Amino acid sequence: MQTRTLGTVGLDVSPLGLGCMGMSFSYGPPKDTQEMIALMHAAVERGVTFFDTAEVYGPFTNEDLVGEALMPFKGQVVIATKFGFDLGDGLGSRGMAGAPGLNSRPEQIRMAVEGSLTRLRVECIDLLYQHRVDPEVPIEDVAGTVKELIEAGKVKFFGLSEASVQTIRRAHAVQPVTTVQNEYSMWWREPEGGLLAALEELGIGLVAYSPLGRGYLTGAMNDRTTFDAKDFRNSLPRFAPEAMKTNLALVDLLAEIGKRKDATPAQIAIAWLLAQRPWVVPIPGTTKLHRLDENLAAIAIELTDDDLSEIDTAAARIQVQGARYPQRLEKLIDR
């Protein structure tokens, strides 16, 4: 499989990564451990070299799962994890729909890294993100702490998630940022409002999480779709029945383009993201082998300039309904 390069420092990864959160967290009860290990092994066999987790997913259980699954592939894959939440407040029982406290104090970062190293069963974390910007801790202190961890051989590359352009510039001046992870998809295009231009200027890659709109852009949902009681999509305004009904117009557009390309809506959504920049790497999550294969097949789909222009023109006429997060979680986004 071809690779894409994140950042000027040259972190080479597969064009699609695998988001592992849903295997343990947020989308209903945790999935069967052995089945998820088999899925990750299948991903490696198919050429996937980039896996995404975080200490908050569980908390901790997803890192344990990823560490166990990928232990046989040390040196062959890139594992990204994240710090930044205070996990002593019962977050695990509430999931991402709760109101977790932020904590990026230097001592907390160091403690988080030691825990992640143990759970991931590695001597060095490939890519370490600040999960959310902590307004109580200067970003220079965060970047400086990660710089020290890199110098100590405990971390290789530094990333930020959902950070503003100003914050990215300040961090980058202390310790080069390899990649920024943000939500980016055909139904959340905010990165186009200035972030992409800044990343191109600075030589920083973009890792796109929720590239399939938390499953909505696959075309498998409608206004009658219901979720498990533990699924945090129950709390997201964009997944309210009326919003889901209205937003089907976007799925219809993907399906229409897909008919011409012999592709599914999900594959067109991924191919569209891959066409935006050569340094954009989507990380769709899945717990099913057939969805993994469907997603990977999108790499081979070529969207011409005319296709992209047609998609953008049609998408501009569609007003996506519903906020992506409830207000209590929007407060965690750096603006």
Beta-carbon neighbour count of residue 29 at 10 Å?
11
Chain centroid offset of residue 208 CA: 5
* Each residue's pLDDT tens digit, 70-122: 999 999 999 999 999 998 744 433 344 444 689 999 999 999 999 999 999 99
CB 271 within 8 A of CB 263: yes
Beta-carbon neighbour count of residue 91 at 10 Å?
18
CA-wise closest residue to 50 among 157, 149, 137: 157
Quick one: pLDDT at residue 89? Answer: 45
* Contacting residues for 249 by C-beta, under 8 A, at least 6 apart: 318
Structure confidence at residue 329 as a pLDDT band (50, 70, 90)? confident
CA-wise closest residue to 252 among 189, 183, 311, 191: 311
Q: CA-CA distance, 77 to 47, in Å (whole number)?
A: 10
* Each residue's pLDDT tens digit, 204-249: 999 999 999 999 999 999 999 999 999 999 999 999 999 999 999 9
* Each residue's pLDDT tens digit, 137-176: 999 999 999 999 999 999 999 999 999 999 999 999 999 9
Q: Any idea which residues carry the catalytic annotation?
A: 57
Q: CA-CA distance, 226 to 220, in Å (whole number)?
A: 12
Q: CA-CA distance, 313 to 190, in Å (whole number)?
A: 17
* Each residue's pLDDT tens digit, 12-62: 999 999 999 999 999 999 999 999 999 999 999 999 999 999 999 999 999
Arithmetic mean of pLDDT over the chain: 95
Delineate the domains of the chain, giving CATH numbers in brackets.
4-330 (3.20.20.100)
Strand pairing class (85-86; 101-102) = antiparallel
Q: CA-CA distance, 217 to 222, in Å (whole number)?
A: 10
Largest CA distance in the chain: 54
Q: CA-CA distance, 19 to 160, in Å (whole number)?
A: 16
Strand pairing class (78-83; 4-6) = unpaired
DSSP 8-state class, residue 29? S
